[in-house]
Structure 1
Amino acid sequence: MQNNIASLSKAASESKQKAVLSASILAPQLPIRLGSTPKTSFRGHADIFGRLVEDHDKHRALIAMIGETSGASEERKKLFKELVRDIKAHAAAEEQALWSTVMRNPKTTDQARHAVSEHKELDDMLADLAARDMASSGWLRRFNQMKEEYLHHIKEEEQEQFLAAQKNLTDPEISEILRLFRVRKQTEKAAAEVEKKIRIKK
């Protein structure tokens, strides 16, 4: 039992390190003050849910690194572009592979709809940030608002929505969802562009 727990803990730690490393390569000179991450039973797992958490950890690292930049620096531009493209590809692939399947089950339809609606909200916030001057005083304030929304969204997925989905999916479905996610994420990332659109609040 203890060996199994130690093995799971090691896998979770290695998964998080791998995700942080993939972000740090873009600007190795910047510190990554990630702090603690929300507990999730999926980190380090070889299934679709572990794969999604690995992306989340990369995004957490990119967000932390952007917080270490200033003005319209090249580091901020490069990190923000990668964050936007990876979140867009991740969300699109997640919707196509996971949430489209989960939505078909009445027990989890609402969870899936909620996750997809938050993707749209975050996409709008990222497009708004991309359209604004990074050197302006309001850019970091808006970025921090987006950060709060995104970190809440992925915490909710990891601690609630993934658990509900897992309970209502078969092992073959989970395997197929992972296969499809890997294919779609690669395709979506290759095509992802940074949209610029000022958000008009109603």
Structure 2
Amino acid sequence: MATQTIERGRTGSVAPATAKAEAIEKAKAIAPDLAARIGSTPRTKFRGDPDVFGRLVEDHDRHRALLAMIEETEGKSPDRQKLFVELVKELKAHAAAEEQALWSTVLRDPETTDDARHAIAEHKEIDDMLTDLAARDMASSGWLRRFAGLKDEYLHHIREEEQEQFVAAEQHLQASDVRYMRRVFNRRKKEEKAAAKVEKKISLKD
């Protein structure tokens, strides 16, 4: 693939603060009465961009809000249950669509193969953590402890993507590539989310 530095500030971009606020509002639509205290977020040049990287960061901000809102819930409350279902479907669909739209292409470039493999491996780790949580009593202290572990792992993962892996991948993609990838991501995520399920194969106890 030809190396090209993709120009920032393209037509269709949104102010970073606006993009972040809009992503949080999408999460809050699930449980409007709950606060979404995500605090400061890692600096990224992609927030609000009209390409695939901006679209991925939009989802990341939405996921940050869902994680924060779940922390505001208690026991097996309806809000905790529906927010967890939404989180599972969001993370599964996002990871699958990201792998298909972005990392499948990036894997073909020897200079970015390691970044792609690292991101995909972390997707699997996060999916395993979601499956473990789904199998446990969400009213237990053990569930909350494991949820905190999931949150830490996911926030670390998306910080790496936004500040390192996306930056590296961008240098090896054409502007037309990242615009096309956004369309692929949107289509695949919609399909993946419709098919995503909260898997509870067994019941686990602490």
* Structure 1 segment 1-202 matched on structure 2, within 5 A: 11-197=15-201
* TM-score normalised to structure 1 length: 0.92
Which 4+ residue blocks in structure 1 deviate beyond 4 angstroms?
197-200
Whether contact under 8 Å (2:135, 2:203) holds in the other structure is no
Q: Which runs of 5+ in 2 are unaligned?
A: 1-7
Q: Which of 60-69 and 177-186 deviates more?
A: 177-186
Query: Relative to structure 1, is the Cα distance of residues 52 and 103 closer, same or farther in structure 2, using a 3 angstrom cutoff?
Result: same
Contact 2:50 2:179 in 1 (8 A): no
- 1:53: how far off? 0.2
The separation in 1 between residues aligned to 2:40 and 2:68, in whole angstroms, is 12
Q: Deviations over 1:113-136 (max 9, x none)?
A: 000000000000001001100011
CA contact (8 A) 2:13 2:50 kept: no
Give the structure with the larger helix fraction: 1
Alpha-carbon distance between aligned partners in 1 of 2:152 and 2:178, rounded to the nearest angstrom = 29
Shift of the alpha carbon at 1:196? 2.2
CA contact (8 A) 1:85 1:192 kept: yes
Distance 1:49 1:180, change over 3 A: same
Higher relative contact order (CA 8 A, sep 6+): 2
Moved more, 172-181 or 189-198: 189-198
The one-letter code sitting in structure 1 at the alignment partner of 2:104 is S
| Paired residue total | 196
Helix, strand or coil: the match of 1:112? helix
1:198–1:145 CA distance, 2 compared to 1 (3 A): farther
CA RMSD of aligned residues (A): 2.1
Q: Distance in 1 between matches of 2:202 and 2:172?
A: 39
Counterparts of 1:102 and 1:127, CA distance in 2: 28
Helix, strand or coil for the counterpart of 2:46?
A: coil
- 1:197 CA drift (Å): 4.7
Q: Find the aligned partners of 1:117 and 1:129 in 2 and give their Cα distance.
A: 19
Give the equivalent residue in structure 1 for 2:5.
none
Q: Quick check: 190-199 or 99-108, which moved more?
A: 190-199
Q: Distance in 2 between matches of 1:167 and 1:83?
A: 31
